[in-house]
Amino acid sequence: MTTELTILGWSIILFFVHLTLQSQLATLDRGIGWNAGPRDGTPAPLGPLAGRAERASANYRETWPVFIALALGLALTGRSGGMAATGAWVWFLARVAYVPLYLFGVRYVRSLAYLVSMAGLVMMLIRFL
């Protein structure tokens, strides 16, 4: 299996980390009744930590499809490895770092982690093209 596909597997685990953080922190803010209920009406506002978890998860889900497409495309075309594998690692590690940076409200460094992750995707794209 290629490095890119291995990291794709790890990216699914990271998706579940985002999902768990987001849902658990929202439940802490809104209560278990809200989580178990139909969630009709206007929900109570999220606190800072739950709001950050929600936004970090949304940000991940915006870039994740591009990573998936590139990882699969590289594997199918036989262009995996080299710069693409490095780019996949760069994307993944930056996305892992992004989670605590966003949760703890670290300005600028969080944005830098996002930019580094995008550079990883560009590295993969260059190898793909």
What does DSSP assign to residue 41? S
Domain count, the chain: 1
* More confident position, 41 or 63: 63
Instruction: Indicate if the pLDDT at residue 80 is higher than 90.
Output: yes
CATH number at residue 85: 1.20.120.550
- Residue 72, domain extent: 3-128
- pLDDT tens, residue by residue, 16-57: 999 999 999 999 999 999 889 998 888 889 999 999 999 999
Quote the pLDDT of residue 11: 98
Q: Which token pair is 23?
A: 């849902």
Q: Specify whether the CB–CB gap between 59 and 118 falls below 8 A.
A: no
User: To the nearest whole percent, how much of the chain has pLDDT over 70?
Assistant: 100
pLDDT at 12: 98
Residue-averaged pLDDT of the chain: 96
Greatest Cα-to-Cα distance within the chain, rounded to the nearest angstrom: 51
Q: Is 45 left (phi over 0), alpha (psi -120 to 50) or beta?
A: beta
Between 34 and 102, the more confident residue is 102
Enter the pTM of the model: 0.94
Q: Identity (one letter) of the amino acid at 31?
A: G
Cβ neighbours of residue 2 closer than 8 Å, sequence gap 6 or more: 71, 74, 75, 80, 81, 85
CA distance 8 to 73: 12
**Whole-number pLDDT of residue 44:** 85
